[in-house]
Amino acid sequence: MTDRKLQTYIQSLEKIDTSELYGKDFLLTWEKGAQELEAVFHTADILKIMHAGGIPAQIFKSGMAVSIFRDKSTRTRFSFAGAANLLGLQVQDLDEEKSQIAHGETVRETAVMISFLTEVIGIRDDMFIGEGNRYMREVAAAVEDAYNQGILHRRPSLVNLQCDLDHPTQSMADLLHLRHFEGSPEKLAGKKVAMSWAYSPSYGKPLSVPQGIITLFTRYGMDVVLAHPPGYNLLEDTLRTAEKHADLSGGSFRVTTNMKDAFEDADIVYPKSWAPFSVMEKRTELLGAGDKDGLKKLETRCLEENRRYIDWHCDDDLMALTKGGKALYMHCLPADISGVSCQQGEVSSSVFEKYRNQTYLEAGNKPFIIAAMMLLSKVKDPAAVLSDLVKKAL
C-alpha cells in the first residue's frame, strides 16, 4: 500500500524537471516556476509517506543544517530541526543576541564561518520591512562567493523560514493541506479564498503570511479576496504579484475593507492579524535609530489602532456567511483564540475548536515542505535518490 502510493508519487516526480532547484536557494515562491513548486509538493508528500511508513530518508551521512532565527520561534525551529534530522543533518543554531540589522563584512564573514561543514542554512528574519529578504541575499552572496573562491567545499543552500516579504514554507504547507483537503490539486481552481485581517491584542505581527498566501494561492486559479481595515495594507509589490498570478491562472484577486464581503460564499477562510504597514515601516526606522521611547509609543499607538477593529473576529455568524456555512478555516498557528489564549482575538473558540485538527494537519506539512526544499537543492536526481531509499527499506 505504502509501496504503491510511493511508486506513483515518485514516478510523477521523475517527470518533473528539478534542475532549477538544484544548487539554488528557496527565498520567494514567486521566483519559482510552476514545476519547481510542483516538485516541492511531490517531494514533501513522498517524504511524509516515507516517514509514516518508517522508511529512512537520510540522504546525508553527516553535515550541518544551520538555523538563524532573528526572532523567537518554537514551531519553525522544530520544523527545521525535524526536517534536517530526517535527511541526516545536524542542526546548529546561530543564536544572535537580539534582532538586529547587520550588513556588509559582518554578515559576509559570519556567513562563511558557519558554513565550512554546512549543507543548508535556514533563516528567519521577519522583523524589519526591507531587511529580512535582503539579509538572506547577502548571506547567499557570501557563501556563493566563498564557494567560487574555493573557500567552501560545498555551497550551502538557503531556505527562507520567514522574511519581510514571504513565508514560503508556511504558504506551501498551507497549499499542500488544501490539495489534500480538496482531494486533488485540480480542484483548487475556482475556490474562493478569504485572506482576512483579524483583530489581535498583540503587536507587530509580520506581513509575510498574508503576502505569502495571496501570491501563492492566486497561481492555482483561485479567487482570492484580501480583506483588511484601512491602513493594514500589504507591500505593494506583493499585491501586484497576486494580480499578475490571478490573471495568468484564470483566478482573481481583489482587496476589500469589509471582512463579511470576503467571507461571503468563501470556500476557504484565513483570518489572521498583522501589523499596519506604516507601523512596520516606522518600527524599522526607530529600531535602526535605537529609539526605545519611540518604539514604546509606537506599540501603544498600534495597539490602540488595532482595538478600533476588534469586531474583525472570525465567529460562527461570520462562518455562516461562507459557502454552505462550511468554509475551511486555516491558520498558521498559534491563533489568538477568544477566551482561550486571550480575552478577545482572531477567532472564537467555537470556530477554532471545529477546525483544530485541520490546523494541526496543516502545520504537520511544514517539516516535510522544508525537508523537500532542502533535498531538492542538494540532490540532482531526487526521484532516483528517493526510489533507492524506498527500495532499500521495503
Residues engaged in binding a copy of itself (CB under 8 A):
51-52, 56-58, 61-64, 66, 74-75, 78-79, 81-83, 85-86, 88, 90-92, 94, 104-106, 109-110, 112-114, 116-118, 146, 149-153, 333-334, 337, 340-341, 352, 357, 360-361, 363-364, 366-367
In the complex with a copy of itself, the residue whose CB is nearer, 321 or 386, is: 386
Q: How far is the CB of 275 from a copy of itself (least distance, A)?
A: 22
Q: How far is the CB of 31 from a copy of itself (least distance, A)?
A: 27
**Residue 237 zone, left/alpha/beta (φ > 0; ψ -120 to 50; rest):** alpha
Report the SS3 class of residue 102.
coil
CA dihedral 362, 367, 370, 371 (to 10 degrees): -130
Q: How far is the CB of 265 from a copy of itself (least distance, A)?
A: 29
Strands of 64-69's sheet in order across? 90-95, 64-69, 118-125, 157-163
Q: How far is the CB of 212 from a copy of itself (least distance, A)?
A: 19
Q: Which residues contact 243 (CB under 8 A, 6 or more apart)?
A: 218, 253
Q: How far is the CB of 123 from a copy of itself (least distance, A)?
A: 15
Q: How far is the CB of 215 from a copy of itself (least distance, A)?
A: 25
The secondary structure of residue 157, as a DSSP letter, is E
In the complex with a copy of itself, the residue whose CB is nearer, 103 or 308, is: 103
In the complex with a copy of itself, the residue whose CB is nearer, 150 or 290, is: 150
Look-up of cell digits 565550512: 116
Helix axes 105-113, 132-148, angle to 10 degrees: 60
In the complex with a copy of itself, the residue whose CB is nearer, 8 or 106, is: 106
C-alpha distances out from residue 173 to 1, 335, 368, Å: 24, 16, 8
In the complex with a copy of itself, the residue whose CB is nearer, 230 or 392, is: 392
Q: How far apart are CA 22 and CA 157, in angstroms?
A: 9
Q: How far apart are CA 305 and CA 294, in angstroms?
A: 16
In the complex with a copy of itself, the residue whose CB is nearer, 156 or 206, is: 156
